[in-house]
Chain A
Amino acid sequence: MARREAGHFEIELSRATKISEMVALGLEKGGFDTEAKVESYLCEVLKRNREIFGSCLAFEPHGFNPEKRWYAPYYYWKDEQPEFVQLGNPGYDYFHWEWYWAPKESGTAHWSEPYFDEGGGNTIMTTYSVPFRRDGKFWGIATIDIAMSQLIERASRIQVGRTGYAFIVSKQGRFLAYADKGRIMKSSIQEVNPELGRRMISGEDGFLRTQDPSTGRDAWIAFVPVQNGELSLAVVYPESELMKEALRQQVELLVLGISGLMVMFAAVILVARSISRPIRELAIAAQEVAAGRLDYKLSPNNTTVDEVRHLTFAFNKMTRDLQMRMEELRYTTTITERLQGELSGARSIQMSLLPKIFPAFPDRPEIDIHALIRPAREVGGDFYDFYFVDEHRLCLTIGDVSGKGIGAALFMAVTKTLLKSKSSAADPIDVIMRQVNREICQGGDTGMFVTLIYALLDTSTGRLELCNAGHLPPLIVTGAAGEVTPVHCQAGIALGLMREADYPITHVQLAPGDTLVFFTDGITEALDPDRNFYAALRLRASIEGSQEMPVQMLTRNLAQDVRNFTAGREQADDIAILALRWKGMEVETQAISA
C-alpha cells in the first residue's frame, strides 16, 4: 500500500520535473535575445501548466545582459493571474542560494527541501531546479515551484485500517504531511522516532515494528522513498488493529476451514452413500433371497465402486446357482416321490397277489386256514398262497425270496405264478418243483433264489405231501395238550441255486385237529433291542397249547408276540405266517349231513 501511494506521488512530481526540463531546453534552443522574449516565454509556460505554482529563469551574473549582474525573471500565480517579479537584486543575491548553486555544481537537476512559502502561495512548496547551458557553458537555472498541498492532502486522506494513517517526511526528516497538523514543517521524524527517522531519511524502504510517532503505541510502519529519496512516505498500522485484523483473518480462516470441512464432509457422505446404497440394496436382496425369492436380481450398474460391483455380481451368481440347485432338488424330489409312489404301487400289487379274504373256504368245514404277512419297510420277498387243485386237494405255499426291493418282488411274483401254473392234480409235487426250479434258474445271474415249502394236503384223508426248497420246516400243533413238533422233512436246495436239483417229498399224516404252522425266517430271526433272536424256541412256546384257538387268532397272536419282542425296533425282514387246521372228515360229514 505504501508503495502504491508512493507511485502516485512519483507520477505527480515527475510531471512537474518535465516542465522545468522543457523550459531549460527551450531556453537553450530558442533564440531568446531580449528580456521581453524571455519573460513572455516564461509567462506562457506558467499559463500552460496550471499545476505549477511558479517558474523562474535565473541567469549567471551578467549572463544574459552584460550590464546586469542579476537577471532572474519569475512568474507565479497570484489571485489566478500570472504575476511577474524580478528576483535578482542586491538584497537577494540568488547565486548563493542552494536552489541555484546546488544544480550548478552538480550539473544535474535538484529538489529543494520543502519550505513554507509565505506571501506567495501560503503553502508548502518545493522547488525543482534544472541547469541550462549556452554554447556548452553553464548559463543559468530554470526552476519550477510546486505546491505540495495536493500531495499532502492526498497523504492525509490515506486511511489505514480504522486508526492507521500515512505521513510524509522530507529528505531532512521534516513532516510534510502528518496526523498532527501542528507539527508540519515544524518538527522532524528524528525527534519523534530516531530509528525510524534514520532509516526513512537514508532513502530505504522497509517495514518496522516500532512506536507510532504520533501516539507512542506499538505499530507496524511501512516506509518507502518517493522521488529518488527526496521524500519518504510511511504508512502506520497500529498493532492492536493489526492483531484485530489478524484475529479477523483467523476467524475468516476458521470459518473457511469449517465450511471447507463441511463441504468435504458432505462429499464424503455422498461418496459413502454411493457405496452404502448398493450394499443396503444387497442386504435387502439377501433378505428377499432368504425369504425364498431366488429370482431377485440386483443391477450391477447401481454403483461405480468396483468392489461393490463385484459383490453384486457374486451375489447374482449365488442366487442363480441357488436357484439351479433348488430346481435340481425339486426335480430329484419329484423323481424320488415318483419312485416311492411306484414302490408303494409295487407293494400293493404284490400284496394283491396274495389271497387275503378270510374265511377263505367257507364251504369247507374240514379246514380252517388263515395267513398274514407283515412286510418290512421295503418291498420284500415273502409270500404265501393256497388253492385247491382238485376237489379234495389243497395246495399250500410259503416262500421267501432273497433280498429286497423291486427285483425281489418281481422274483416272488414270477415264482408264485410259476408254481400255480405248474400245479395240477396229475403231476407229483417233486416233479413240479423240479420244473419250477429249472425255469427260475434260467433267469440268469441275479444271485436271487427263493426258499419255499410246497405242500399238498388231501383234505379228505389228512395226508400231507410236501417239498422243502431250503425253507424252515413247518410246525404242527397236535394232541390234546397242543404240543408243538416240527415236521422233519428232507431238505432240498433253495430254488434258483442249481439247475438240476431234486426235491424229495416228505409224507405226513395229520390227525384231526392238528394245526400246521408255516412261517418265514422274519419270525425266528426278529431281533430284540439286545440283538437276541426271537428264535424257534420262542416260536414254539408262543403257539403251544393253541389247539383250540381259532387259526386267525393263532397267527395274529404270534405276529403280536414278535412285535412285542422287537419292542419298537424296526422290522428288518418280512414276516409271513400261514396256519392250517385240519378238522378231519367227520366234521365234514357232520357238516354235510347237517
Chain B
Amino acid sequence: MQIQEERQGDVQIITIDDHLDTSTATLFEARLLGMIDRGTRRILLDCTALSYVNSAGLKVLLLATKKLEPFHGELILCSLSQNVLMIFEMIGFTRIMKIVPDRETALKLFTQLPVS
C-alpha cells in the first residue's frame, strides 16, 4: 500500500491504494492519527485505487472519525470501488462515515461545512 498526501486549502487529501488490511493498517493508523494529532481537521481519503479493506482497516477509519469528533473535524471518503463499498455497506460503515462519489463532491462538501 502507498500513502500519498497533498494539501488543498485546509483539506488534507490522502490517497491510498491496494489493500488496507491487517498488514498495512498499523502504518496507515500511525500516519492518519499522527496527522490529526498535529492539528489537521479536514481529511479527504481518496480510495480510487483501494481494492480491498478489512475490519483492521475499517477500525483505523473509525478511530480517526472518533478522534475528529470533539474538534468538529471531518473525514470524508471518496471514489470507493464497488468491492470496497460492498464491504463498507455490509459492516455498516456507510451509515457512520461520510462517503461521496468523487473528489469534487468531497471538496465542495468541505466548503459547505462550518469552519471548525
Contacts and interface: CB of A to CB of B under 8 A. Distances in A.
Interface of A: 376, 400-404, 445-449, 451, 469-472, 491-494, 497-498, 501, 521, 525, 533, 572-573
Given A493-B95, A525-B54, A448 B22 contact: no
B92 A491 contact: yes
Given A445-B66, A572-B21, A403 B55 contact: yes
Contact of B63 (A401, A445, A471, A494): A445
10 contacts: A449-B62, A451-B91, A469-B92, A491-B89, A491-B92, A493-B96, A521-B54, A525-B52, A572-B21, A573-B21
A404 B63 CA distance: 15
Interface in B71-113: 89-93, 95-96
Contacts of A472: 90
B59 A447 contact: yes
Contacts of A469: 92
Contacts, number: 71
- The interface centre, meaning the residue of A470, A498, A525 with most chain B CB atoms within 10 A of its CB, is A470
A572 B93 CA distance: 22
Contact of B56 (A404, A451, A471): A404
A445 B96 CA distance: 14
A447 B93 CA distance: 12
B23 A572 contact: yes
Contacts of A470: 90-92
Contact of A573 (B54, B60, B67, B93): B54
B58 interface: yes
Given A400-B55, A404-B22, A572-B23, A492 B92 contact: yes
Interface of B: 21-23, 25, 52, 54-56, 58-60, 62-63, 66-67, 89-93, 95-96
Contacts of A492: 92
A460 B8 CA distance: 63
Which secondary structure dominates chain B's binding surface? helix
Contact of B92 (A501, A533, A572): A501
Nearest to B87: A521
Nearest to B64: A447
Contacts of B52: 525, 533
Contact of B22 (A445, A491, A494, A572): A572
Given A404-B22, A447-B59, 5 more contacts: A403-B55, A472-B90, A494-B91, A497-B93, A573-B54
Given A470-B90, A491-B89, A573 B22 contact: yes
B40 to A, nearest CB: 18
A470 B54 CA distance: 12
Nearest to A469: B92
Given A572-B21, A573-B22, A449 B59 contact: yes
- The interface centre, meaning the residue of B59, B63, B92, B93 with most chain A CB atoms within 10 A of its CB, is B92
B54 A448 contact: no
Contact of A451 (B23, B25, B55, B60): B55
Contacts of A446: 63
A402 B59 contact: yes
A79 B95 CA distance: 165
A401 B56 CA distance: 9
B55 A447 contact: no
A116 to B, nearest CB: 132
Contacts of B59: 402-403, 447-449
A497 B63 contact: no
Contacts of B58: 402, 449
B37 to A, nearest CB: 14
